[in-house]
Structure formats: C-alpha cells, structure tokens
C-alpha cells in the first residue's frame, strides 16, 4: 500500500491561488526571544541559544522560523523599538540561509530584519499598529500575514464579545486585506490568521476552528496558531503549556481538514507527524 506524502514547503513559498493547495503544508516554528511569552518566555534570550533552537526546529520539519521579540500574551506590556531590535537582530542574522519571518508590528524592526534576511512580516495588528508597514511590505516584495486581534495584548482578554465570531473575524480580515492591497501588496502575497486566543473566549476559539472553512473561502492561505494555548488547556485540563503538544496537534489536524495550510507551532515534530497522517487520508 502506498500513499501520497504531503509536501511540507521549505524554501519554496506557498503557491498563490484562490484556494490553498491541499498538497502544500507549511509548518512555522516559533522562536521567541522574549522574557515573558506565555509558554517559552526566557528560554532563548541568549542569541546563540535561540539560533541553535531555530536550527533544531528546521531539522524537525519547520519550513519557516518566526522570530519575535515582543510578547503578545494576554496582559503583555509593549516593548520599545530599540529593545525589540536588540532581541531579534542577532537571531535573524544568525539564521542566515533559513526562511525567516519577523513577528512584529513595528516598521523599523521589520526593515532591519528584512535587511538581515527575513522574507515575511507577521503582523498581529494587521497593519493597524503602523499602517506604513504595508507600504514597506509592498515595496520590498514581501509576503505578510495579517491577524485578527480584538484590542491589544494588554486588554484583548477583557470580556471579549461577538455576535458571530466567525463572521466578524472574516469581515475584519477582508477589510485588512483590502487595505493591504490598496497600499500595493499583491493579494497573492497575503496570508490570513484568525488569531486564536487573541481577544477570544474558549468558545470563540472552538467556533473558529469548527467553521474555519468559512475563512479559507476568502481564497488566501490561512495560518492557524493554536500552539499550547490556554483554550487547549481548558479543554484537556493540562495546566502546563508544555504539556499541550498533543492537543495542539489535534487542533492542527482539524484545521488542516478544514483547509488551513500554515501552522505556527512550538512543537514541530508532533505537528509534522500528525499532519502527515491527516494528509495521507486525502490520497
């Protein structure tokens, strides 16, 4: 018996199309260089440690490394430009040759990271933090990921409410994509992220996973960032985020079946194996 193995995109970009290709899957490995991220804050503050960790994630199957120097956990305080640059630049430079995205809302940080080799801007504010970032992405010919977040990290979990969370997130992403296109970013360069855990209750997150195909219908690759998040801990009873790798893999398999093709994770190997099994069922 044989089956078609999934194509885990590494050095090659997601193929632009009106519907993400079912045979192309990208795992985005998380490289946080922050003291206060909810799961791995402080583990890789030393640039050499962060670079070595990134290389490990690549060996496990990550096709892209997402480097971030400002925590976006609930209640997180903002970080200044100079401090964020100090944290991320040695890591981006040390990962030369790998495919790197910069997780930032700041124009100056994105500019410096791209000059050092990053090729994608992952902006949790969807260009609301610094609208000029969209023009930079357009002029530099970069890919970008636009995420839904209610409010900002300090306030986003303060009683989030929606009439219909999926419809409202979809409308937001459509509007932010339209803004990016108006600023010169080709639609084919845009990824969309529903922002699980960013201004959502457990129920909201589960509803977004349940109806993810409605976001996939927008025609752009959908990124899912469920990794180790609190709602998975609530569902499983796992209080320690490090114990949520299995729950993360399960959420990603469900998201894959509903059309997501980019998965931002801490635990690359379990996710890769889970997605390989899921992809085999489509053969």
Q: 229, 230, 244, 261: which one is catalytic?
A: 229
In the residue annotation, 170 being an active-site residue is answered as: no
Whether 133 maps to a domain, the answer reads: yes
Whether 18 maps to a domain, the answer reads: no
Cα(123)–Cα(101) distance, rounded to whole angstroms? 10
Share above pLDDT 70 across residues of the chain, in percent, rounded to a whole number: 84
DSSP 266: S
Residue 36 pLDDT greater than 90, yes or no = no
What is the tens place of the pLDDT at every residue in 63-91? 999 999 998 767 667 899 999 999 999 99
Residue 42: predicted pLDDT: 53
Residue 72: predicted pLDDT: 76
In the residue annotation, 200 being an active-site residue is answered as: no
Whether 139 maps to a domain, the answer reads: yes
Cα(100)–Cα(93) distance, rounded to whole angstroms? 10
The answer to whether the CB of 193 falls within 8 A of the CB of 223 is: yes
Full domain range(s) for residue 131: 23-219
Distances from the Cα of 246 to the Cαs of 38, 68, 74, 91, 266, in angstroms?
Answer: 18, 24, 23, 28, 12
Whether 114 maps to a domain, the answer reads: yes
Tokens of 46: 């030393």
Whether 145 maps to a domain, the answer reads: yes
Cα 94 off chain centre by:
21
Q: 73, 99, 170, 264: which one is catalytic?
A: 264
- Count of domains forming the chain: 1
Residue 45, classed as helix, strand or coil, is coil
Residue 52 pLDDT greater than 60, yes or no = yes
Whether 256 maps to a domain, the answer reads: no
Residue 107: predicted pLDDT: 98
Whether 233 maps to a domain, the answer reads: no
Whether 183 maps to a domain, the answer reads: yes
What is the tens place of the pLDDT at every residue in 186-224? 999 999 999 999 999 999 999 999 999 999 999 999 999
The answer to whether the CB of 215 falls within 8 A of the CB of 166 is: yes
Q: What is the CATH number of the domain that holds 115?
A: 3.20.20.20
Distances from the Cα of 153 to the Cαs of 149, 157, 197, 199, in angstroms?
Answer: 8, 8, 10, 8
């Amino acid at each position: 018996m044989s089956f078609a193995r999934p194509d885990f995109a590494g050095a090659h970009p997601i193929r632009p199309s009106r519907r993400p290709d079912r045979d192309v899957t990208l795992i985005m490995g998380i490289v946080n260089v922050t003291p206060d991220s909810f799961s791995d804050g402080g583990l890789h503050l030393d640039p050499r440690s962060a670079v070595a960790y990134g290389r490990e994630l690549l060996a496990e199957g990550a096709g892209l490394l997402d480097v971030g120097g400002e925590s976006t956990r609930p209640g997180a305080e903002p970080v200044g430009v100079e401090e964020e640059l100090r944290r991320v630049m040695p890591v981006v430079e040390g990962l030369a040759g790998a495919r790197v995205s910069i997780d930032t809302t700041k124009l100056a940080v994105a500019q410096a990271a791209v000059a050092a080799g990053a090729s994608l801007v992952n902006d949790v504010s969807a260009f609301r933090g610094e609208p000029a970032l969209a023009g930079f992405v357009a002029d530099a010919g970069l890919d970008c990921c636009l995420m839904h977040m209610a409010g900002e990290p300090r306030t986003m979990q303060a009683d989030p409410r929606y009439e219909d969370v999926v419809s409202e997130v979809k409308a937001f992403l459509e509007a932010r994509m339209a803004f990016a296109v108006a600023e010169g970013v080709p639609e084919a360069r845009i990824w969309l992220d529903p922002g699980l855990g960013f201004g959502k209750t457990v129920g909201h997150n589960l509803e977004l996973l349940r109806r993810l195909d409605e976001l996939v219908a927008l025609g752009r690759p959908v990124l899912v960032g469920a990794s180790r998040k609190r709602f998975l801990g609530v569902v499983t009873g796992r209080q320690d985020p490090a114990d949520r790798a299995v729950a993360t893999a399960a959420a990603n398999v469900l998201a894959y079946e509903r059309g997501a093709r980019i998965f931002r994770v801490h635990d690359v190997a379990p996710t890769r194996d889970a997605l390989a099994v899921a992809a085999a069922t489509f053969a």
